[in-house]
Chains A and B, each alone.
Chain A
């Protein structure tokens, strides 16, 4: 890895408009720079050598976390992992996202790295994505031609390839409020050491009927076990509209394993997906039951 970056022209736009103008002017030769925790490494490794770098942390309007019951959660693309992990509202209502962002790297990386960068990097092992998948997040993308909203499960195409078009900027992540009496969690194993890339990550969001104990809805999101982050939709079906018990959870975990296609350490990743899916569903189930108990009390 080289120690220095190749020379490039550098911009610090103040508004989204200015940014997208620069991006469309320079097309594929331009690259967006947010926290730089992914981009600068790729540039040092010479995987990418942009001629123009458009720094977006200079745009104050992109760094926010807003919530209202009706509009749901809106996160600006520049919100850092630290901001999300520490946000009271996210910890309370979207805990699976807070724990995913709290898992990323080290404090330094979380202070610099943004959720927008995590999504747009588009790799298989982006930790925030499984939670966003099960929360059915939508992405607001802006270009000179206007704005479009893309559901996150349509965003990932292939490893490091996303639906983001040239000269398009991700500005906001929109997350609907999960229904009451739902709960979720994010579980992961790292590759080797405690602070490390995820070997496998699993997010689960579950809606349980408190009267009959039937699982009304279940969503499972996975990262690091397929070319892109995925939903394990067949596994979700195993539990949906069923009364949950341990053997069903085991079955869902087995089905989820079949839905994976890891590129390396395949056997181990598959096996660990099974362990994580089982643990994540069990933990979520516990959480909901406690929630119900608390509601009744």
Chain B
């Protein structure tokens, strides 16, 4: 595609930037309605307990309290699934009947919802919570998945026997791993563990709900998958989908946590009970304990290589901690195996996982899903093998990475890949040649490390990859584009505007995004799986193309030529051969709408798009670290991410995604630890004083290298770039640590204590 682009590829300012910079932007937490009540939730202080009695009369009597609801008040509504309810079936069927209620009479984890109140203000609502009297019967609990699998362990869920939420297999197994390992000259293996990272969205979960005069539930929801959230809400509240109107305000970060319903069910229950609008906004602690966070794994990984570095076999067994309810957690293992085992070319691959229920907060989707967890181990073992085989870590990777046309991680054709260029250009940027493998001495030691990854652009073929776009041209030549991605801070509106404007030959600022209301928007799967620009962008491109053809057809008539003689540039339709002959797009659109000659038409286009291919983004990550061998502290000095995300629709937002990914990846690698007290089951790290994300002062010098070569399938050659940024960060750091001090840390996060311990063991 050597097309000359005039809007795509430009660093345009985002349509919502000014509102966000000035504070005028409206988030769910900013919404106010006349007579609106404030909701609050009472949560279990125990990891596992039966509610023997709830006394709510004191709370009900508090002036200003309009409703106090307990498990027995919500029995008419259905239990629900936090995740996407069809997803499990497609991935091999782990469906356990949903058994999480809006409020639960048996708390299955610290922070489980027990009761809720609605009051005229937040103060009274908080006070009312303190007046609810709960008599708990504490039950034996289990935190650790290995313990949970033992006979006689406390049962977390009635529907998951032996606490096995589900046993899952790698959906794309290949060859015979035993044979593969026999053929190997070098086998590396290890046990790796990863943590329950929390999303730390800037805005906590929030929702506003009310029942309108027509008896429809109106819900302002942050959910990343709006239309499926509407379906889930209708299901829970025994209503037809037509009785739910779901609206998406600006969302202060999702990262997968808003891939499920969060505050919505309790908020709606309170609105239905009171008949008044209710806002429910979670505290930071609730965000940590009541919602899903990353699935923690422990896994055994084994990889075989030929003497020349060629991969012969990969095998993994994963043990994952699900928490008190199923959530999206089980899929993290499947996706981890799909991306991890499918990253390199390897003829023999197998993987199994047991996803185990425990009395801990629920696990779910988080940027990269299982990919960061699997690459944490794979990329360390590849380095280990490289050392054994006397190969450079770059070479061994270049040898095994896939080429375009091979079968990609998701079982479809690998449409394009420039991972080799990512590796070469990233290595240059970090100074690999001068820095790697050098002898290190002294107290402070530096090292460099690499990791690579392949991800996805959308969910096809594992899940319904269905997007829609509708575009109409106004009489002034501007266009309204109706789409429903979740505006999570990734600036998707800008990217879609650029795609539509490029195709229509108008400017990005001419596109007005119509969105955020399921009454208006067509079905949209939503913003996850790094799919919005790719999938919704594809739908947008086709819709815009249809509209463009109508413009050309009418312009052709007006100019007395045929449509294929025309082109549109900067809001003007030109005769290609004679550019002096032209007509403004606006004139064509005006004439179409106000046509008194009997040929009225509102120029428009509409596309239902379903992913039948999936262009994989690839990337290489490079860390330079400095380790203080006396304190064990690791400082990331520089981080480089080289990304093949196809054509960058807006390089500025690509950089934003990747820099954000570095920050999350450094946190995953070094600082973030979700601590659950083993003796009490209490979540101890439930706010930023105890759960430590890297701050601005912890960030290294960063560099993003965008390869910027178009993919044959994506809109204007784009591929997904939302999740990739954090996938390879932690293993690149671990490999850099090995280069610096010769020790390997296999369990996350890499704390100073672990580094010192490993150094101590090494010197013995």
Contacts and interface: CB of A to CB of B under 8 A. Distances in A.
Interface of A: 1-4, 189, 191-197, 265, 267-268, 271-272, 275
Given A3-B122, A193-B694, A197-B689, 7 more contacts: A2-B283, A4-B123, A193-B671, A193-B698, A194-B697, A195-B697, A271-B756
A268 B283 CA distance: 33
Contacts of B284: 1
B63 interface: no
B692 interface: yes
Contacts of B671: 192-193
Contacts of A4: 122-123, 126
A111 B139 CA distance: 47
B692 A196 contact: yes
B753 interface: yes
B630 interface: yes
20 contacts: A1-B283, A1-B284, A3-B122, A3-B126, A3-B283, A4-B122, A4-B126, A189-B631, A189-B633, A191-B692, A192-B692, A193-B694, A193-B698, A194-B695, A194-B698, A195-B695, A265-B753, A268-B752, A268-B753, A271-B756
B285 interface: yes
A193 B694 CA distance: 6
A59 B694 CA distance: 38
A134 B184 CA distance: 64
A194 B634 CA distance: 12
Contacts of A265: 753
A38 B265 CA distance: 36
B200 to A, nearest CB: 13
**Which 3 A-B pairs have CB atoms at the shortest separation, nearest pair first?**
A194-B697, A192-B692, A193-B692
Contacts of B123: 4
What secondary structure prevails in chain A residues at the interface with B? loop
A123 B694 CA distance: 25
B687 interface: yes
Of the listed residues A1, A197, A265, A267, the one surrounded by the most CB atoms of chain B closer than 10 A to its CB is A1
Contacts of A267: 753
Interface in B643-680: 671
Interface residues of B, number: 21
A195 B692 CA distance: 10
B308 to A, nearest CB: 43
A1 B689 CA distance: 12
Interface in B349-402: none
A275 B752 contact: no
Interface in B90-125: 122-123
Nearest to B670: A192
Interface of B: 122-123, 126, 283-285, 630-631, 633, 671, 687, 689, 692-695, 697-698, 752-753, 756
Contacts of B687: 1
B520 to A, nearest CB: 34
A148 B673 CA distance: 46
A273 B525 CA distance: 54
A21 B694 CA distance: 46
A264 to B, nearest CB: 11
B126 A275 contact: no
B633, B752, B753: most-surrounded residue (chain A CB, <10 A): B752
A194 B687 CA distance: 17
Contacts of A193: 671, 692-695, 697-698
A267 B285 CA distance: 29
A197 B631 CA distance: 17
A2 B130 CA distance: 11
A164 B694 CA distance: 37
Contacts of B752: 268
Of the candidates A3, A191, A192, the one having the most CB atoms from chain B within 10 angstroms of its own CB is: A192
Nearest to B673: A192
A267 B760 CA distance: 14
A1 B631 CA distance: 33
A225 B349 CA distance: 50
Contacts of A271: 756
A198 to B, nearest CB: 13
A267 B695 CA distance: 26
Given A3-B283, A4-B126, A193-B692, A275 B631 contact: yes
A1 B282 CA distance: 11
Contacts of A194: 695, 697-698
> Chain B CB within 10 Å — which of A1, A193, A265 has the most?
A193
Nearest to B692: A192
B307 to A, nearest CB: 42
A267 B631 CA distance: 12
A3 B121 CA distance: 12
Contact of A2 (B126, B695, B753): B126
A294 to B, nearest CB: 28
B131 to A, nearest CB: 13
A196 B753 CA distance: 17
A136 to B, nearest CB: 30
Contacts of B285: 1
A194 B697 CA distance: 6
A271 B123 CA distance: 46
A58 B366 CA distance: 48
Nearest to B286: A1
Nearest to B671: A192
A271 B759 CA distance: 14
B730 to A, nearest CB: 16
Contacts of A1: 283-285, 687
A275 B444 CA distance: 14
B304 to A, nearest CB: 38
A261 to B, nearest CB: 19
A262 to B, nearest CB: 13
Nearest to B687: A1
A168 to B, nearest CB: 29
A265 B757 CA distance: 14
A149 B692 CA distance: 40
Contacts of A268: 752-753, 756
Contacts of B630: 275
A191 B697 CA distance: 14
Contacts of B756: 268, 271
Nearest to A271: B756
B486 to A, nearest CB: 25
A156 B693 CA distance: 32
A194 B696 CA distance: 9
Contacts of B283: 1-3
B669 to A, nearest CB: 12
A199 B284 CA distance: 24
B323 to A, nearest CB: 22
A42 B82 CA distance: 34
A197 B123 CA distance: 31
Contact of B631 (A2, A3, A272): A272
A246 to B, nearest CB: 14
Nearest to B284: A1
A195 B122 CA distance: 31
A196 B126 CA distance: 30
A271 B285 CA distance: 33
Residue among B631, B633, B697 with most chain A CB within 10 A: B631
A275 B285 CA distance: 35
Contacts of A192: 671, 692
A265 B671 CA distance: 15
A201 B426 CA distance: 39
Contacts of B698: 193-194
Nearest to B124: A4
A19 to B, nearest CB: 28
B140 to A, nearest CB: 27
A121 to B, nearest CB: 14
B764 to A, nearest CB: 17
